[in-house]
């Protein structure tokens, strides 16, 4: 997982788990740590999801992220505090 603080949000750049570790709660736990860090800094979290990855889109929606726009290849998402 890579993320960076920007002036207006915490930007998640990547979260990848190899298939044999997916579905075990590892990604959710990583995101909960990131969500807590963003909360402590009073910042929303921004990210983008490839449109061809509906599983990731559902994952982030379950964590409270909402669609804020899109590009040709990505859905832009944000999670407010």
Predicted pLDDT of residue 26: 96
Q: What SS3 class is residue 20? A: helix
User: DSSP letters along 25-70, please?
Assistant: SHHHHHHHHHHHHHHHTT--EEEEEETT-HHHHHHHHHTT-EEEEE
Domains and CATH numbers, the chain: 2-79 (3.40.630.30)
- pTM for the model stands at 0.88
How far is the C-alpha of 5 from the C-alpha of 55, rounded, in Å?
26
Per-residue pLDDT in tens (0 to 9) along the chain, 81 residues? 778 878 788 999 889 899 999 899 999 999 999 999 999 999 999 999 999 999 999 999 999 999 999 999 999 999 997
- Residue 8: per-residue pLDDT: 86
pLDDT of residue 18: 92
């Amino acid at each position: 997982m890579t993320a960076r603080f920007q002036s207006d949000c915490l930007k998640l750049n990547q979260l990848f788990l190899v298939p044999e570790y997916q579905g075990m709660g590892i990604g959710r736990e990583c995101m909960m740590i990131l969500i807590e860090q963003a909360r402590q800094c009073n910042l929303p979290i921004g990210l983008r999801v490839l449109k061809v990855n509906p599983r990731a889109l559902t994952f982030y929606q379950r964590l409270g992220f909402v669609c804020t726009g899109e590009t040709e290849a990505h859905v832009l998402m944000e999670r407010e505090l």
